[in-house]
Structure 1
């Protein structure tokens, strides 16, 4: 191939890369008039676990959404942003379209890709009205000042344009579709688990690119935050749990054998405990229906010298 041919091939390759990685946006012109339901916004807030990550660490108020939590990962450490209505440091200046674009498309108001430490691969399946209600609810909360530090992500993972390729590989953009073969309660649980609840984001093993391994979805694996092991929540791991056991755990954090939730799950329980009993029952109904799937093998414990 001639030098000119190499230049042309490189230009074509760059053009294809640029086209594939264009950040997707939601246009405000596509949004019909809407009257928000703040009660549903609160439900969406709790189901989505917003305070688990965005509440200011080290203080008891789960509605103080100034961010700052450090989230370690194999690709670097991410710092959760301020999503309070603060006009300078939070989302006070965001439009509804900005918020929808962030949550469902993983694109910032500045038009850059968010890293998928923000669980938009699950949020993309959320209903439009739920996200609109969530935005309206967030606007009712107290603003919290304070800018969160930048992520600590090394090269080449810090190149946000590359996230467009990751999205092309791992996002399908499909809305949640109810399964007529199951009950309304089961479908509600399936919706909450696979969209707002983003349960698979932690309870699934990932490949070397950080994408969920579809064949082992919900089968547990290494804690993405670096320490410990996330349990298998298919029937391989929860065979002995009843629907009632799962619902009770989501309310109290107590397991059937008298143990209690630990690690990041403690923050999750603070949210699921705020859901209605009907929603917790729906989540439990769906999780109990997950067929048994073998997860990755757990590493053997190294015996300590006596």
Structure 2
């Protein structure tokens, strides 16, 4: 019996150590950023395509106020309430003192400067596909925006979701770099894929999730329940959205549908961002949406 207990204890120790190794925060290899010169124009495009202000500007801010990334917006989920942090250029309250490498760690692996796991309310499962050039350029552009001294507030997350180490296990399941829509895409469609799958995080709202909060990639962009509990976020695959590419591009520019309705709610904020993109980029998004496969088990239409 004593020997069995010793064996069991040894197995438990090995399992625990293995778990610690597998769930440790990951970091970007510094060599990946070596020699990359930031491009502020490129960084501005990334900023709007990635929708940074939509989450990190202060609640109820409008116009130029949205460039002050003081944080404070609340996002209620089944796992707790997450409060967007200050990511302004303030070196103390914000991320003004961060290096491009530290930003890369956050965006690509969901890892903070102190080696902590970030919650996936921050959509790093999308940003993980960003290029090093875009990360470096975004870091430079963020440094040109106003500083805000407002301190970030702690998330309101209870047990067991407040155990951040467990997020390492979640990442093993869901932090999956690579494209959902693959195959023979032309240059325009590839650009659209990058804007949607690496920057725009459209899937975060328009794709259903499983019980652990991970995106159901086999139901990519087929629509999802609204987190508010009211209604459903529509699908973007061709069986849900039958607009022409020109109609989609116009909607992303002006917010007007082909029937002259207008975007409302959170989508209005998305349009504020996509309206700042080039006509070519909006058309690229539209071209990508036209080649997103319709899952065999999703015959519904909106």
Number of the residue aligned with 1:302? none
Separation in structure 1 between the aligned mates of residue 227 and residue 108 of structure 2, nearest angstrom: 22
Question: Residues 131-150 of structure 1: CA distance to partner in whole angstroms, max 9, x if unpaired?
Answer: 11000000011101101210
TM-score by length of 1: 0.91
Number of the residue aligned with 2:13? 11
Separation in structure 1 between the aligned mates of residue 299 and residue 89 of structure 2, nearest angstrom: 41
Separation in structure 1 between the aligned mates of residue 268 and residue 211 of structure 2, nearest angstrom: 28
Question: Does the Cα contact within 8 Å between 2:51 and 2:270 map onto a contact in 1?
Answer: yes
Question: Does the Cα contact within 8 Å between 2:208 and 2:224 map onto a contact in 1?
Answer: yes
Separation in structure 2 between the aligned mates of residue 21 and residue 179 of structure 1, nearest angstrom: 29
Separation in structure 1 between the aligned mates of residue 298 and residue 78 of structure 2, nearest angstrom: 19
Question: Does the Cα contact within 8 Å between 2:239 and 2:299 map onto a contact in 1?
Answer: no
Separation in structure 2 between the aligned mates of residue 80 and residue 296 of structure 1, nearest angstrom: 36
Number of the residue aligned with 1:114? 118
3-state DSSP of counterpart to 1:196: helix
3-state DSSP of counterpart to 2:199: coil
Which deviates more, 181-190 or 195-204?
Answer: 181-190
Query: CA RMSD for the aligned pairs?
Result: 2.0
1:236 aligns with 2:239: yes
Separation in structure 2 between the aligned mates of residue 71 and residue 24 of structure 1, nearest angstrom: 26
3-state DSSP of counterpart to 1:62: helix
TM-score by length of 2: 0.93
Q: Which runs of 5+ in 2 are unaligned?
A: none
User: Compared with structure 1, are the counterparts of its residues 286 and 5 closer, same or farther at alpha carbon in structure 2 (3 Å cutoff)?
Assistant: same
Question: Does the Cα contact within 8 Å between 1:221 and 1:295 map onto a contact in 2?
Answer: no
1:183, distance to aligned residue in structure 2 (A): 2.1
Separation in structure 2 between the aligned mates of residue 75 and residue 180 of structure 1, nearest angstrom: 35
Q: Which runs of 5+ in 1 are unaligned?
A: 299-306
Question: Residues 219-258 of structure 1: CA distance to partner in whole angstroms, max 9, x if unpaired?
Answer: 111123544311111012102x111111111111111222
Question: Residues 85-110 of structure 1: CA distance to partner in whole angstroms, max 9, x if unpaired?
Answer: 10111001111111110011100001
User: Compared with structure 1, are the counterparts of its residues 224 and 17 closer, same or farther at alpha carbon in structure 2 (3 Å cutoff)?
Assistant: farther
Question: Does the Cα contact within 8 Å between 2:37 and 2:136 map onto a contact in 1?
Answer: no
Question: Does the Cα contact within 8 Å between 1:79 and 1:149 map onto a contact in 2?
Answer: yes
3-state DSSP of counterpart to 1:67: coil
Number of the residue aligned with 2:224? 221
Question: Residues 155-198 of structure 1: CA distance to partner in whole angstroms, max 9, x if unpaired?
Answer: 10111101101111112234x69967332111100111110011
Number of the residue aligned with 2:103? 99
1:292, distance to aligned residue in structure 2 (A): 2.8
Equivalent pairs counted in the alignment come to 296
